[in-house]
Structure 1
């Protein structure tokens, strides 16, 4: 089911369909027609409504911004009622459109120069309410050719994403920052429906006693149980 957030794509399809029937209209005319289908007087009013939906319902903490696969489906803001936390919440009016792989993140990007050759631990505390797919922190290091290191804990058991309703819990990712790193990106995200609060983020150097995430997760030392004959231990 389409919503007003899909208006531009719908206008393009409408114009193509009419063109196949030898009815030529401009792109602007197509946008105006779609706007009226959604009950708006004109495209300017619908466009302003889309911009408000993308921006969310309130200001974010300084230095942080909203991103993700489908940020228009989520509200984001500072939640002062819960101790100056940051909140991501699926929009009540758009719940029918949220799929399990839709997600929104509140994130930050910084220059990597001061962190090269250092083992850095990104950590934050999360609390969730009625989360469908999961909520977690994530950390990515980029170089000239793209992503060098990335982890969002989705393969971690335990200490992976929070699901359902859970009280404050810390999650962290540890990386050795390569000398080819250009930028660091990190934050927390909500995937699917629900609400997630975050607080007490930190990015600090740790010593060699703290293992990096490259040593964690379901990475086996050698191929194992390829015939599926041995059940997992409980």
Structure 2
């Protein structure tokens, strides 16, 4: 019998080992200036871009500041690998990372892209996976960790509602293939490996059509 990950506990009630980051107060005003290196991909307003023919750039606007800071630090350390992001992360000091994270966290997100042309069956499957999971394949619902309406749960689980479909799909495949590993106790990898390519496309499409996290 397959066992579900043991860390699926009430979200917010625990701090997962190896995830908590040292708190550095960020200055959003200074972060706006430091974020100049981010604009080319993530746009001036932090809304990113869905690119169906290549790499999609995630929407950073409205994400939790501590989550953004952790990802930037992970790019610097190599814990999260991305040839595009690493040199930009390396340009930022620890304080600048905190500032950039604070800046983006205060911006208003816009509606995600990439799911608008999905058919009803695809969206229905995506909604099921995101909201209820599929216990026949031991796939836990997204909202079990990412919170009500998948709008995020603190610094550990980012808001994924309203994120671009291309980016969600790419990250699920990266966890599935083991090329992204910077999640606590391989939680995302465990779930992604139980999903088919059709499941990944469906949940990515549905999530992109949902209201993004509100500040």
Which range, TM-score by smaller chain?
A: under 0.3
User: Looking at CA atoms only, which structure, 1 or 2, has the larger radius of gyration?
Assistant: 1
TM-score (norm 2): 0.22
Higher helix share: 2
TM-score (norm 1): 0.20
Greater relative CO, 1 or 2 (CA 8 Å, sep 6+): 2
